[in-house]
Structure 1
Amino acid sequence: MTMAPDALWYVVQTQVNAEAKAARNLIRQGFEIYLPRYLKRRSHARKIDKVAAPLFPRYMFVQMDIATQRWRSVQSTYGVSNLVQNGSDPAAVAAQVIHALKAREDASGYVTLDQRAKFAIGDKVRVLAGVFAENLGLFDGMADRDRIAILLELLGRKVRVSLEADLVAAA
C-alpha cells in the first residue's frame, strides 16, 4: 500500500510479545507498518542458533496521515498497548530514522548490527553469567565474529578465555 506524501511515521507500543499480532491487525486496518527485526543469538541446551527478534521489543512504527486517517483506532487495535504521543497528538518520527534502519537491512530483511568490540584492549570487564560469572578480567580482543577474548586470573596465572560478547560488561 502506498501512502500519501503527507503520511509520517509514528511509534506504536505493543503488548508484551505481541508485535506480530499488532502488525497483522494494523495492516488489516490499512496502515503501513515497519517492524525492524534482527537475528538474535539464542543459546539453549548447549545449542546456539539464531532467531528473528524485534530490534525494539514492544515497539514498531506505523505510517499514517493523521489529517485523513482515523489514527485513534490504532489505540484500540488488538496487540497494541498505545500510540506514543506528544501531548494529545501522536509523536512523529523523522523519516531519516526509518530510512537509516531500512538501509541497514540485509537481503533477508533483517537489520544488521555492528559487530565491533565495545571495549579497548586492556579494559577491565566483568563476566555476567556462565561458569566464570562475577569474575573480573581484561579485554584481549575479538575471538571471532560473535565472541570476545578476555584474560582471567585463574590459579595464579592469566588465562585467555573466549566468551559470547553479551556475557561480558564493563567493570
Structure 2
Amino acid sequence: MKSDWYVVQTLVRSEVKACANLERQGFTTYFPRYSKRRRHARRTEIVTAPLFPRYLFVKAETGLHRWRSINGTFGVSRIVEFGGEPACIDSDIVNGIRSRECEGLVVLAPQVRTGAAVRFRDGAFYESIGLVEEADDERRVLVLLDILGRKVRVNVDVAALEAI
C-alpha cells in the first residue's frame, strides 16, 4: 500500500479538533504552526498560529482509507480535490516544512534583505523607518536610522521590523 499526503480544509479555527478526530479514525495528520508576535492594546505577546490557517495535511494509504469519511469528520470542511480525486502533495514538501521545525514550531526565515526599507513595529523606535544594512542567521538585523541628521546603526531582532 502506498501512503500519500493530502490537504484538508477545516472549519474556521477547528484545525486541532479536526486533527484529533482524523487521528481517531486512523489517519496520520500534520498541522504546522509557528510563533508570531501579536500587538494589541499596547501589549505585545508571542502566540502560536497556524502556518496555513484552515488547512492541515493528512497521510493516508490510498487503498485502505475511504475519502468520504474525511469529509464527514467533525472540524473538517472538505478534502481538497481536483477532478473528483483528492489532491496528492509531494512528501518532500511536508518533509521540508518539518525540517524547519524547532520544538514543534516552524521557524520562518527573515523577510528582510540587505538594502530594503523597513519600519519598526516595536520598541523605542516604533514607526521609525530605516534601511537594512546587514542581516545574519541569528535573527538579528543591523538597521541604519536617520536620527537628528546623523546615520545611526541599530542592531534589532527581525521580529521587530516589517518590510515596506
TM-score, length basis structure 1: 0.74
How do 1:19-38 and structure 2 match up within 5 A? Answer: 19-38=15-34
Q: Relative to structure 2, which stretch is displaced further, 27-36 or 61-70?
A: 61-70
Give 1:22 shift. Answer: 0.9
- Rate the CA distance shift 1:10–1:28 in 2: closer, same or farther, 3 A: same
Superposed CA deviations along residues 40-74 of structure 1, whole A, max 9, x for unmatched, are 3456665654x443332222100123443221221
Q: For residue 148 of structure 1, what is the aligned residue in structure 2? A: 141
Matched, 1:105 2:101: yes
For 2:119, which of 127, 147, 154 is the aligned residue?
127
Following TM superposition, where does structure 1 have runs of at least 4 consecutive aligned residues deviating by more than 4 angstroms?
Answer: 41-49
Q: Which residue of the other structure, out of 93, 111, 118, is the alignment partner of 2:112?
A: 118
Q: Deviations over 1:95-143 (max 9, x none)?
A: 222222333334x33333445x7312xx13131645542x442112248
Q: Within 2, Cα distance between the matches of 1:162 and 1:18?
A: 39
CA contact (8 A) 2:134 2:141 kept: yes
Q: Give yes or no for the alignment of 1:138 onto 2:131.
A: yes
- How do residues 60-79 of structure 1 correspond to structure 2 at under 5 angstroms? 60-79=56-75
How many residues in Structure 1 have an aligned counterpart in Structure 2?
A: 160
> % of aligned pairs identical?
42
Gaps of 5+ in 2: none
Secondary structure of the residue that 2:101 maps to in structure 1?
coil
What value does the CA root-mean-square deviation take over the aligned residues? 2.9
Aligned residue type for 1:83: I
Q: CA deviation at 1:93?
A: 0.5
Letter in 1 for 2:90: A
Distance across 1 between alignment mates of 2:53 and 2:156: 25
> Which one has a larger percent strand, Structure 1 or Structure 2?
2
Aligned amino acid, residue 149 of structure 1? L
